[in-house]
Amino acid sequence: MKLITLLVLCLPLLGLASDQHASVDPEVQAAKDVLQLQKQYQDNLRASIRRRRTVCNPKNLLHRREWGSLSEPEREDYVNAVHCLANKTGQTSQTDIPGARTRYDDFVGCHLQQSPFVHADGLFLSYHRHFVRLYENALRTECGYQGAQSYWDWGLTYEDPRNATVFDGSPWSLGSNGLYVPDRDPVTINVFGQNLTFQPATGGGCVASGPFTPDKYVIHLGPIAGSPQGPQGGLGYNPRCLTRDLDPAFSRDTHPTNVSWELACADVACFNQLLDAPGGIHTSGHFQVGTITLDVLVSPSDPIFWLHHAQIDRLYPIWQGQDLRTRLNQVYGTVTTANIPPSENATLDTTISFGVLDSPKAIRDVLSTVDGDNCYIYE
């Protein structure tokens, strides 16, 4: 067969291949790329502890999974443990935080007290990694939870968070959207000196169904960032329902391509800065839930906080794992939120306070998910 004839016969096939390539949804491809990087991280982590017999080893490794992959009994076990913490007497001094009542409030109070030091700075990733670990440990050791902390992969439903399993309002969810409240005014909150205004979205009222409706779950602290503040500047006792205002305008910023860009960062400075940049996946995770999660200091009042930050913590070791030798011990930023007031740079020896939850920890002690107090993998 002549070469020219062969080329002519192949042209339709070449065109088909080109069309198929062009038709690939970039979000689908980005999601596949993220999962490939996750597999690389998993393989490397398992190899690193394969021969261990003490401390963290393959037998006691906790497996953190996406909420939608848990069975209904596993989700119910988690929900029951959250309610256990929310009804268990706390340890926070009411001299420090007058409104604190429960063990769950201990965690909200810790975040409230440490927020001026652990956001948009060199402590953010380390603080929240250990903070989620302490919460997981409390669920397991104080409330009988048998599993590991779950995460919420918002990239699965970035087009509309109302489609997320975690918000489906079933007995095995973390509750639904808030009841729709019409004719609401925009909400303005002050986040570390910056005023941000949010338009009303799809809910706004108390959670409508599931295990966190007003008759089942009450929050006690805040508001702090909004106006008016709660009693005693938001530190006083202010029992009220859990509200949500799920917002697709912000969830769309958690699309897989955005996650892929985050994981493409060459150093931790880029990784840290992209999280909270306009349209960043950390802030967008909060903003898409709305209401209480907009109020940064008391945002752990919504149980979705822990799954959102477990997702951030999931992406962190996936990023680290692409060049573990170089990236594991990288630290970037100062020791005050957004460097207000100006402060020194964080180092591996910088300590982070956890109030009544735990003794202070050095950053170097929490940079690995399989050393020190940590022993978990993201599935």
pLDDT one-digit tens code per residue, 119-132: 999 999 999 999 99
- The domains of the chain, with CATH numbers, are 26-378 (1.10.1280.10)
* Runs of H (alpha helix) within 180-267: 248-251, 256-263
Q: Over 90: is that where the pLDDT of 21 sits?
A: no
Quickly state the pLDDT bin for 183 (edges 50, 70, 90): very high
Q: Over 70: is that where the pLDDT of 1 sits?
A: no
The whole-number pLDDT of residue 226 equals: 86
End-to-end CA distance of the chain: 52
The whole-number pLDDT of residue 2 equals: 43
Place of tokens 């089942």: 216
CA–CA separation, 315 vs 129, rounded Å? 11
Q: Over 50: is that where the pLDDT of 178 sits?
A: yes
Among 2-6, 102-106, 163-167, 244-248, which is the least confidently predicted range?
Answer: 2-6
Quickly state the pLDDT bin for 11 (edges 50, 70, 90): very low
Rounded to 10 deg, the angle between the 304-320 and 256-263 helix axes is 40
CA–CA separation, 371 vs 379, rounded Å? 18
| C-beta separation of 344 from 122 below 8 A | no
CA–CA separation, 158 vs 256, rounded Å? 8
pLDDT one-digit tens code per residue, 44-91: 999 999 999 888 999 999 999 999 999 999 999 999 999 999 999 999
CA–CA separation, 361 vs 344, rounded Å? 18
- How large is the average pLDDT for residues 214-219? 99
- How large is the average pLDDT for residues 359-365? 98
Quickly state the pLDDT bin for 18 (edges 50, 70, 90): very low
**Average pLDDT score over the chain:** 94
| SS3 per-residue string spanning 167-202 | HCCCCCCCCCCEEECCCCCCEEEEECCEEEEECCCC
Which DSSP letter does residue 153 get?
-
pLDDT one-digit tens code per residue, 30-42: 999 999 999 999 9
Residues 6 or more apart from 59 whose CB is under 8 A from it?
Answer: none
Quickly state the pLDDT bin for 238 (edges 50, 70, 90): very high
Encoded tokens for 142: 């104080």
Identify the three-state secondary structure at position 229: coil
The whole-number pLDDT of residue 22 equals: 55
* Runs of H (alpha helix) within 115-182: 124-143
The whole-number pLDDT of residue 13 equals: 41
Quickly state the pLDDT bin for 191 (edges 50, 70, 90): confident
Q: What percent of the chain has pLDDT over 70?
A: 94
Which DSSP letter does residue 351 get?
E
CA–CA separation, 365 vs 186, rounded Å? 42
The whole-number pLDDT of residue 190 equals: 87
Among 12-16, 137-141, 228-232, 375-379, which is the least confidently predicted range?
Answer: 12-16
Q: Which of 314, 260, 308, 301 is nearest to 287 (CA)?
A: 308
List residues bridging with 376 in a β-sheet: 62
CA–CA separation, 181 vs 203, rounded Å? 6
Q: Tell which wins on pLDDT, 191 or 3.
A: 191
Q: Position 368: which residue type?
A: S
Q: Work out the angle at residue 324's Cα, subtended by the Cα atoms of residues 321 and 330, and round it to the nearest 5 degrees.
A: 110
Q: What percent of the chain has pLDDT over 90?
A: 90
For the stretch 325-330, contacts whose Cβ atoms lie closer than 8 Å and that sit 24 or more positions apart, written own/partner, are 327/267, 327/268, 328/367, 328/368, 329/364, 329/367, 330/267, 330/268
Strand-strand pairing, 194-198 and 62-64: unpaired
CA–CA separation, 102 vs 346, rounded Å? 32
Q: Give yes or no for a cis peptide into 239 (omega within 30° of 0).
A: no
pLDDT one-digit tens code per residue, 307-337: 999 999 999 999 999 999 999 999 999 999 9
